[in-house]
Chains A and B, each alone.
Chain A
Amino acid sequence: MSVADIQIEKDLHHDGHDDHHEQSFISKYIFSTDHKTIAKQFLITGIFWALIGGGLSVIFRLQLGFPDMELYWLKPLLGKWITAEGKIDSEFYLALVTMHGTIMVFFVLTAGLSGTFANFLIPLQIGARDMASGFMNMLSYWFFFVSGVIMFISFFLETGPASGGWTVYPPLSALPQAIQGSGAGMTMWLVSMVFFIASTLLGGINYITTIINMRTEGMSFTRLPLTVWALFLTAILGLLSFPVLVAAALLLVFDRSFGTSFYLSDIYIGGEALPHIGGSPILYQHLFWFLGHPEVYIVILPALGITSEIISTNSRKPIFGYRAMIGSMLAIGFLSFIVWAHHMFVTGLNPFLGSIFMFLTLIIAVPSAVKAFNYITTLWRGNIKFTTAMLFSIGLVSFFISGGLTGIFLGNSALDINLHDTYFVVAHFHLVMGSAAFFGMLAGVYHWFPKMFGRMMDERLGSIHFWLTFVGVYLVFFPLHYIGIAGFPRRYYSFTSFDAFQTFTDLNSFVSIAAALTFFAQFIFLFNFFYSIFAGRKASLNPWKSNTLEWTTPRLPGHGNWPGAIPKVFRWAYDYSKPGAKDDFIPQTVPLSETPESNLPNEVEEAKAEAKK
């Protein structure tokens, strides 16, 4: 740790003597190795993809909510995918849901969320000049960029983008005869995902190395802010699970292009029996969900970390149960690797395995519950400031509870029989993972915007954005529970074919309207975001009166983050409203020896030891 520090400090002094040797535009803003710039690159790219992913959902919600609507006006955008009758092509509908899922899960909530906040917060909050390897960090972004470019191009293929669902189960994803999107679109999906995984691994290795090796003096693991803990565990989960997706994808590439039979067997399609024998489509599902389940925690943990920080700061209270929070994240992280088959209860999995996975799955509800209780208790007897970030964090906790509770139904294999692949599942994961993680991301942007751009976002517009989005999300996803209990299957282009699904047409229209309004409310955020970058009110150094290290940097931290020496850390990040203290916060950089009036009995000894040094 110290070795790395010293070398970097030397570099910095060297920089200092040169007095801002000018970087070219390209090395400063494009191929930058500065973690703050890379974070902003991830954020802007994530916002771009969120708009596309959200836009796709509005298009397919039009089809679901208004099956009779004529959509000729979408022809300039969708071209031949609008049929002669003015309807969305039913195969393109599947492409829409597939790309919506892929983009949201991977590009927005993994890269956009982890990429942004791990890059931005880890060095700033642990007191490091930059990431362990700035170059790898840069590569991480550019691999993600390439992956996005490939995915984007696949929209313009003659046969359309991948359309077998975001989980791309073979044989559907392996056979272009079965669905057009499994042609070139699927090839590009797989190539894009390999680049994406490379990006995640490059980033993850960096986050882990940086957190372990480059913490400033005094920043022990038990003093790390919960954001850093969450990002640390997220990176570990990603590092252990994403390679398995590469393996799954590679075998799928072999099956698709080189005639192997890893996933294919006994298939008669297009008037011929295929030569594949002995493969198992279930093997793919095991491999996929071995990533896929940790992935949902990769998505939600950073959001929970961000929320911990924001709720504590704005309640002006220490986060309740700091150690329990870490413990529950460790438990969630560990358990997330051994619950994957709960996605497969009705695939013909051995029923005994089903029992085991039900048991493990329901256990994971315990640490999740602990986290929710701890957030609520942090609010209790606080002195709460409803900044926009705080509102989004409270919204996150609400979604996390609402969506988490329905997981208790789905994790129960006996109940999953009837609920599997219905809208109940759609409601469940959109609340607990989709919307909650999305709210974590927005909360993070509102909270750290002053540090990113040196200016404040407008709080009034922020509040309006929050209320429209929060109410909108509940209006979209809560009704889906009812539709799901009624047995409506997901990924259905239309419900007209079945007598059993002739109901709830009004409710479906309602959901679609709510979805469109929620989507358009995001433009308030976009305006606020871009306007404030250039013309927002200038931020003070510590606008939220927060304890963590990033607020000890200059308003616009330069390369190396702190102009002088890296600050030392003397206490945990949550000394808010400590009895006896004159302010309601004590930054981590304030030694215990300087605050004798507020030290707790167990800190008195520490303060003495400190003073002797």
Chain B
Amino acid sequence: MLNLIIVIAVVLILAILVTVFRVITLVNVAKGEGSKSVPPTNRINALLLMLFLIAGLFGFFYFSFGGLQDDFVLPLASEHGAVTDRLFWITMGITCFVFIVTQIFLFGFAYKYQHKEGNKADFYPHNNKLEVIWTAIPAIVLALLIVSGWKAWSDITGKAPDNAEVIEVMGYQFSWSVRYPGADKSLGDSDFQKMDVTNSMGIDFTDQASFDDFIPTQLVLPKGRPVLLKIRAKDVIHSVFQPHFRMQMNAVPGMPTRFWFVPTKTTEEMREETGNPDFNYELVCNKICGYGHFGMKYSILVLEADEYDQWYADQQAWLKLNDDYLSEVPDNLKEAARIAAGIDNVISVDKADKALVSN
């Protein structure tokens, strides 16, 4: 019943509105408005355009310079990010200048040259000089932006330094796995056909380099040292995105990708800088990948370089934690695998590591 009343009320209100509209229209017809060549709303629209310009520019400045509740610039935590941030703000300066000037001209002219009885527009079909100028100036400015962008881009995408920490990142629905190369600093092969529930990264244990690889539960990075992420995906495309590092690279099944960068602030330092004791870097998935896309995160911990080395040395090889997989190792390499992974050895892991180093 209530629904019916609501429906009837809505219909009646609409009918009243239509009738009011009809009456106003007829009154205007009677006034002979239709014969006028200028819309009745001309002046008010010109005025509103001017008001919009003023209110719009005010809002733009107000909200861009602190009027928002939250800060829209994330603190920066990587070396190359300093370069791209600088480029970003230079581009911002140039575009904002053009934005403001052109909008002022657009709305300003619209207001100033609104129809006035007796006025005649200027027959001004072209001006080659003007057109050459405003083709050339954007071209020059853009050329400068291209050159600086190009320089930054080739540095960022160039070869990683030889001493870079190599870490593998694999995206899957809906989380991430990371693998470190272990003591030999060399990642073992992987093969998607070797994947199963336990060996979720498909580590190939016929490759000697894989024996000491370890898979921690978070991505740990050293501050101040180049880090090379080798990126792949297990099922669909994902994207390794970390806004504080100004870093992004897609994870593509069947096509390994890479991204290298230098973290410049530890998690601890960021906690101080942001004043948020719970701050953590997070790895974000930024390519649509299914229903859990919005929750596909992984925790990142940035340590001082020496803390990182300590942590690195403390990790246990994946093979040691899952020694069933020793069966996949070829017989002639089994002993080497035991030693590298630190399995079945009375010697402690520390000593095994030392033994490896002396090798």
Contact B113 A384 (CB under 8 A): yes
User: With A347-B252, A362-B145, A408-B91 in contact, is A380–B109 under 8 Å at CB?
Assistant: yes
B295 within 8 A of A: yes
A362 to B140, CA, bound (A): 11
A401 within 8 A of B: yes
Instruction: Tell me which of B125, B285, B294 contacts A318 (CB under 8 A).
Output: B125
Residues of B within 8 A of A463 (CB): 39, 41, 44-45
A363 within 8 A of B: yes
CB-based nearest A residue for B97: A405
User: With A359-B150, A366-B142, A383-B119 in contact, is A414–B84 under 8 Å at CB?
Assistant: yes
Residues of B within 8 A of A380 (CB): 109, 113, 122, 124
A51 within 8 A of B: no
A91 to B125, CA, bound (A): 54
Instruction: Tell me which of A358, A359, A384, A576 contacts B123 (CB under 8 A).
Output: A576
How far, in Å, is B271 (CB) from chain A's closest CB? 11
A55 within 8 A of B: no
B146 within 8 A of A: yes
Residues of A within 8 A of B152 (CB): 414
Contact A409 B121 (CB under 8 A): no
Contact B110 A355 (CB under 8 A): no
Contact B192 A266 (CB under 8 A): yes
Interface code A233-269, partner B: CB below 8 Å = 1, 0 otherwise?
Answer: 0000000000000000000000000000000111111
Instruction: Tell me which of A422, A458, A498 contacts B282 (CB under 8 A).
Output: A498
Contact A178 B173 (CB under 8 A): yes
CB-based nearest B residue for A345: B153
Interface code B75-106, partner A: CB below 8 Å = 1, 0 otherwise?
Answer: 00000010110011001101100110011011
Contact A383 B46 (CB under 8 A): no
A345 to B69, CA, bound (A): 32
Interface code B279-319, partner A: CB below 8 Å = 1, 0 otherwise?
Answer: 11010111111111111010000000000000000000000
Segment at the B interface, from A104-112, A139-147, A289-297, A385-393: A385-393
Contact A273 B297 (CB under 8 A): no
How far, in Å, is A575 (CB) from chain B's closest CB? 8
A280 within 8 A of B: yes
How far, in Å, is A376 (CB) from chain B's closest CB? 5
Instruction: Tell me which of A370, A401, A576 contacts B102 (CB under 8 A).
Output: A401
A269 to B139, CA, bound (A): 49
B161 within 8 A of A: no
Determine which residue in B83, B95, B173, B236 has the highest number of CB atoms from chain A within 10 A of its CB, and name it. B236
Contact B154 A346 (CB under 8 A): no
Residues of B within 8 A of A489 (CB): 241, 284-286
User: With A265-B254, A409-B88, A463-B41 in contact, is A506–B69 under 8 Å at CB?
Assistant: yes
Residues of B within 8 A of A503 (CB): 69-71
Contact B239 A421 (CB under 8 A): yes
B72 within 8 A of A: yes
A470 to B103, CA, bound (A): 14
Residues of A202-245 whose CB lies within 8 A of B: none
Residues of A within 8 A of B22 (CB): 535
A555 to B144, CA, bound (A): 54
Q: 24 A-B Cβ contacts within 8 A?
A: A91-B290, A94-B291, A172-B288, A179-B290, A268-B234, A278-B254, A279-B254, A280-B254, A317-B124, A346-B250, A376-B102, A380-B122, A384-B110, A412-B149, A415-B87, A418-B246, A459-B39, A474-B56, A482-B64, A486-B71, A487-B243, A492-B294, A500-B282, A537-B25
Q: A398-B107, A417-B156, A493-B293 are in contact. List 7 more A-B contacts (CB 8 A).
A: A316-B120, A363-B142, A374-B131, A377-B124, A409-B95, A474-B56, A498-B282
8 interchain residue pairs of minimum CB distance: A265-B254, A487-B243, A348-B257, A351-B157, A503-B70, A381-B122, A91-B291, A414-B152
